[in-house]
């Protein structure tokens, strides 16, 4: 096996391991038990607005990156995409902190429960799927594998944008 193929295999395995571990950690935080005394040990009441802001920022960056690549401005596209990924990673850290110190999500009490649940469940399912897609798409772009990157990006971008926008919508439905 060539060094190049070995390196690619290593990163592909790493992306899958990181994606699975993060999905399992988030599922545990939402569904699993908390150690005694964690709920309320830290005031995380401001984090939902931080999370919505990070999701909204990621959505704006994704649209800007899409416009940059349509204008064939690859350096700007690359910077915007890595910034969008960093903002999304910041969201994930904030989300994990919030759910570590606060048991369970806030219940929806509005008049559109069916709509809310449809948005929530599609958001959760796509959020789990989009992480490995983000990582693979960024990896292929970083390696300048344009054909593979483009094929993945055509799936990843709309999914990532949907997750980012619906994150804001969920916040507005819960707290707005």
3-175: CATH class: mainly alpha
d(CA 132, CA 136): 6
Alpha-carbon dihedral sign for residues 94, 97, 100, 104: negative
Question: Whose CA is closest to 57, among 168, 152, 153?
Answer: 168
pTM of the predicted model as reported, rounded to 2 decimal places = 0.90
Alpha-carbon dihedral sign for residues 156, 87, 95, 97: positive
pLDDT digits (tens, 9 = 90+) for 45-89: 899 999 999 999 999 999 999 999 999 999 999 999 999 999 999
d(CA 136, CA 152): 8
Residue 52: exposure state from Cβ atoms within 10 A (0-12, 13-18, ≥19): buried
Domain coordinates of the chain in residue numbers? Answer: 3-175
């Amino acid at each position: 096996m060539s060094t190049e193929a070995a390196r690619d295999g290593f990163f592909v395995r790493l992306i899958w391991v990181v994606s699975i571990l993060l999905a399992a950690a988030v599922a545990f935080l939402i569904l699993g038990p908390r150690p005694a005394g964690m709920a309320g040990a830290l005031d995380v009441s401001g984090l939902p607005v931080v999370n919505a802001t990070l999701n909204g920022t990621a959505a704006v960056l994704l649209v800007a990156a899409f416009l940059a690549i349509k204008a064939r401005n690859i350096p700007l596209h690359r910077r915007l995409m890595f910034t969008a990924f960093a903002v999304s990673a910041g969201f994930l850290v904030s989300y994990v902190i919030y759910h570590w110190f606060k048991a369970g999500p806030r219940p929806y009490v509005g008049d559109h429960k069916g709509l809310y649940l449809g948005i929530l469940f599609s958001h959760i399912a796509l959020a789990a799927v989009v992480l490995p897609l983000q990582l693979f798409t960024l990896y292929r772009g970083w390696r300048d594998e344009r054909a593979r990157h483009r094929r993945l990006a055509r799936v990843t971008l709309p999914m990532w944008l949907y997750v980012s926008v619906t994150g804001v919508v969920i916040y507005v439905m819960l707290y707005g």
